Chain A
């Protein structure tokens, strides 16, 4: 942001807050939670206004879900040829393994919908909405371990310190909501790998951006937002009375000091008060009809770690103007016993994911909402550990992986990119994670080379100095 616009934005905000708390304009309210927008209007007409990002943490196996390779059946048990591996570095977990036997998926694949997209039997519900989706089979990343890979896809850098995608959007285009944050994160653990990899707050952090752009973690239970509820013994009327007194005192201070920051503080307290009502309203699913609850498969028996509930909450959030909702769902790091683990994991996510897409569609929201489903990398074609008739494991694989995209300007019903017979290397239309992030920003009306923030003398971007918009994915 250049100093002139920064200054003008500051003055605009202050102008709004120069009035009394009750006289604040809507635009100013919207910016309260999220600070200033870096770009007042999009660089070009956005196709998507909001994003729901179902992040599948741990690295789902593209080989068992989307990237169908009939030839692998023949290659099952044969050693991965050096001509395919091409000296690719592999993690310390399998680097010292004597053999690298190819493991074909034991799951059946079938073509679905009018598009004829191949989907594994593990995802029967997603298969039903596959015509709304684009399957990208040619995603790739340089990272081969969880920490750097998740940090990379979320922030554009393998090392910590950079803002996450949601933080960039909060900074770039702010929120449409008057009383909810621009960027909300929800975390769940599925029934796949129960001791899955940890995740970190930097994945939704603000990096060097002002801290109000960090994702706000919503949790299940009485306090969806930390410290939302009044303490016991203080009800809404009490809180109102206390805030009125505080507001009057702050008004006096504003008059005495002449500091516009005090007016901002008054408005923030009012916003906090409104959040105390708007957040419980948002997270209360009792008004949703039974059909919807069933469609999402919400059971709250703890098996899916709350993923289904979070999917429905995500819809409710974007209906209320939240810009970016990110679900972090763990359990995909399936080094061993993959068939068993992935069955559990898929039964957790398949139905809610499909329900979310169908629900958005039926409500006319899918056109303007980009839905993303995928993880930080794929998994190896060779088995980690012993390969048997019905069991195998898979290590991390960054050279190719699959991602599902729907709505928000994505061309529906297509398969993009192609990998070799081993699901190992990309043979057509590679999409680097910088390209992928550039494309997400593009769909939101942002030129990824122009959404920048000056830090340490340099104009930083989500895509560093890389990234090409993948036009083949655009509707």
Chain B
């Protein structure tokens, strides 16, 4: 530790320029040492130009100043702003180095200023001929030379004089890979089996077992739910409930049966348009119905109808294309080559759903698929028959009034029942598409030029040739076509992020010119091509990643790591990552034996402090709205996996939000990872964890015979390893101290054991149990416990 501190102190006290250069090297992820001295346009130059110049000298025609484009070589060279080979004669250089404020670029009013290093880069680039290249992410990936993940990682490490760390211990490795692939810790039997397996493919066997576990689908679905902005309420204003759990079940199942990612994509974007679409494929299309829906009294339907479609475009663009297309809703994109027209051509794909601008007060909004239970169907049939019988009588004038009066209660009954029939929201296409217009400044009521559905021109080499108008299915198929340079890269990058903590492109939501240049561009392309050519085989990709030596490394930090690569982008070690919100709770439930492993189905209501929803809502559940009052689940439903917790958008589950879960209002593909005192309070005091500590304590008393054994068991269940001598003695002292306390204060012991709905095992001595419960709580709070190491 002291060595690390010195190192850090030295870094901090280093002159700003050194720090700057170091940071720059890291953010552009250029190899710096030992690489070719030439300037690479995409890696070195474009980020500078994009961030500082493109706003006024880029793709957005309306904002363009002096008719100069610096994103197009012809414009820059044509106007002699750049004279290739001659930086001294280039106006660009004169302007960026000008002392006079009126001459300087970027103008001081922008608050932007180029660093010495950036100016030097531009100077060298011009002197070397000022060559341009298409933005790397818009050029389809080609398979680079190289045969494995590790080859690319090692190449980059060597360049800075680092080496990979040795493989992590088996105990650590199996905990890491089990948490990563299932979101749950390994059982002790699983750890033992792996640790004692002498076969050369012991690790591979573990990986295969995990990939075939149904838990794998749940784990993979979790990040997809963030991306798909899945929730159990509509999100605006009164925020009534909705039920998209059939769609969630579809996602879990799709990952478990390893549905190829291209098919996974097509079914979610356009499953309803597939020839002879199955019910499952229609359910899948609900992906783009997961956006927020409004029914605020007095709101203007068209305003919200527009918002839904905007959300579909933005979400689809972020999830599959890694593009910040939202910028082009109001004007041409300022950094990337997308026009406002491109935006509304995409918008047209999503504009033809027979839906209402204001809807959802009582649950799901049309269009829907219905899933009546057999009993409901029988009852509905019966009511329909009876109503029909009365209707027949209506044609006799003297019976009409009476017949009508007899129908009314039946119809009411039918309506009431109809509202109880489970449904799921789906996409559907209107027979005649709506007209789509460019919306001036993005305003729903300011229609401009009429446009038809089409793909972004900058990404399409060979336009789809057809006489009929393009539809969502065409869009979906193009997204997973070889033609599209982005999707395979964007997806493999997100899986990389899932297992290494940070993507090869750190800005996993933005592959545009403002996004980060990849730390390992060749590896990214290699993975993308491998993925696509494997038939978009997700399990194969995941297996390839977790089988790599890079993934299997030890996570201990050595001083040279912090010195040369403090963010660990080059991967000279495995990253330690705090578990995501859901895994922390799932782990506590699992080790304490509380976990109810049921997969799928309706969302549940675990412990939550009373009043949290009601303070914001001040309404009640009833005929008009739902999800206004929090009614906690009881029994087994309290212990479902956390991904099934009911997600109210205007008041998300507080413990999850504190551990960085997003609010699910909009698409999120990257969660932050914060470290706060509010997190500590949850793990110390939330009844969920107090109860889990008690149940874990009961387990210790039942499954081990001595104090020593129990300490070892508790520690091992939570961290996957045995405590060392020092750790053991700290826990031993703690236990004795706690036991003394609860022997003296038996009432306190009983109080502590009263937390949580699950019954206490009364056969166990309660003073002991309280002491073990305290010890279990301490272990559940350890950094190592809530971290995948």
Contacts and interface: CB of A to CB of B under 8 A. Distances in A.
B674 A212 contact: yes
Contacts of A449: 111
Contacts of A35: 674
A384 B300 CA distance: 18
A262 B324 contact: no
Contacts of A202: 650, 663, 665
B619 interface: yes
Interface stretch (B90-98, B266-274, B276-284, B730-738): B730-738
B614 to A, nearest CB: 10
Contact of A242 (B660, B679, B755, B778): B778
Given A223-B609, A257-B556, A3 B324 contact: no
A450 interface: yes
Interface stretch (B534-542, B629-637, B680-688): B680-688
Contact of B665 (A161, A258, A262, A271): A161
Interface in B101-115: 111, 115
Given A160-B665, A259-B576, A268-B677, A231 B235 contact: no
B760 interface: no
A224 B631 CA distance: 22
B296 interface: yes
B362 to A, nearest CB: 16
Interface in A82-124: 89, 91-94
A33 to B, nearest CB: 6
B8 A198 contact: no
B111 A450 contact: yes
Contacts of A161: 665-666
B681 A275 contact: yes
Contact of B19 (A4, A14, A216): A4
- From A225, A232, A233, residue with most partner B Cβ within 10 Å: A233
A17 to B, nearest CB: 9
B751 A232 contact: yes
Nearest to B336: A457
A228 B681 contact: yes
B163 interface: no
A211 B657 contact: yes
A12 B11 CA distance: 9
B666 A160 contact: yes
Interface stretch (A70-78, A187-195, A406-414): A187-195
A197 B300 contact: no
Given A92-B298, A228-B681, A250-B782, A201 B751 contact: no
B654 interface: yes
A187 B616 contact: yes
A330 B618 contact: yes
Contacts, number: 285
A250 B726 CA distance: 12
Interface stretch (B68-76, B236-244, B590-598): B236-244
A232 B755 contact: yes
A449 B778 CA distance: 46
A201 B617 CA distance: 11
B512 interface: yes
A11 B12 contact: yes
A265 B752 CA distance: 25
A225 B686 CA distance: 12
B485 to A, nearest CB: 17
A2 to B, nearest CB: 9
B695 to A, nearest CB: 14
A398 B237 CA distance: 18
B273 to A, nearest CB: 28
A235 B744 CA distance: 14
Nearest to A456: B324
A216 B558 CA distance: 37
Interface in A354-409: 395-396
A265 B659 CA distance: 13
Nearest to B303: A148
A246 B654 CA distance: 24
Interface string B236-255: 11110000000000000000
A223 to B, nearest CB: 7
Contact of B652 (A201, A225, A238): A201
A350 B777 CA distance: 47
**What DSSP secondary structure best describes chain A's contact surface?**
mixed
Interface in A22-49: 32-33, 35
A233 B684 contact: no
Contact of A233 (B307, B749, B784): B749
A257 B665 contact: no
Contacts of A144: 298
A105 to B, nearest CB: 23
Nearest to A395: B298
A161 B16 CA distance: 35
Given A212-B674, A255-B1, A93 B782 contact: no
Contacts of A19: 5
A4 B20 contact: yes
Contacts of B609: 223, 226-227
A388 to B, nearest CB: 23
Given A200-B651, A226-B654, A456-B509, A241 B737 contact: yes
Nearest to B756: A231
A260 B8 contact: yes
Interface string B560-587: 0010001000000000101000000000
A258 B557 CA distance: 5
B513 interface: yes
Nearest to A160: B665
Nearest to A244: B734
Contact of B663 (A201, A225, A456): A201
A466 interface: no
Contacts of B297: 91-93
A7 B23 contact: yes
A147 B237 contact: yes
A292 interface: no
A458 interface: yes
Given A18-B5, A147-B237, A194 B618 contact: yes
Contacts of B19: 4, 7-8, 11
Contact of A146 (B11, B296, B754): B296
Given A8-B19, A245-B730, A457-B335, A227 B616 contact: no
Contacts of A475: none
7 contacts: A92-B299, A147-B299, A226-B654, A227-B678, A227-B682, A450-B111, A457-B512
Given A161-B665, A196-B618, 7 more contacts: A4-B115, A11-B11, A261-B783, A264-B675, A265-B680, A272-B680, A275-B677
Interface of A: 3-4, 6-8, 11-12, 14-15, 18-19, 32-33, 35, 89, 91-94, 144-148, 159-161, 187, 189, 194-202, 205, 210-212, 214, 216, 219, 223, 225-235, 238-239, 241-242, 245-246, 248-250, 252-262, 264-266, 268-269, 271-272, 275-276, 330, 395-396, 447, 449-450, 454, 456-458
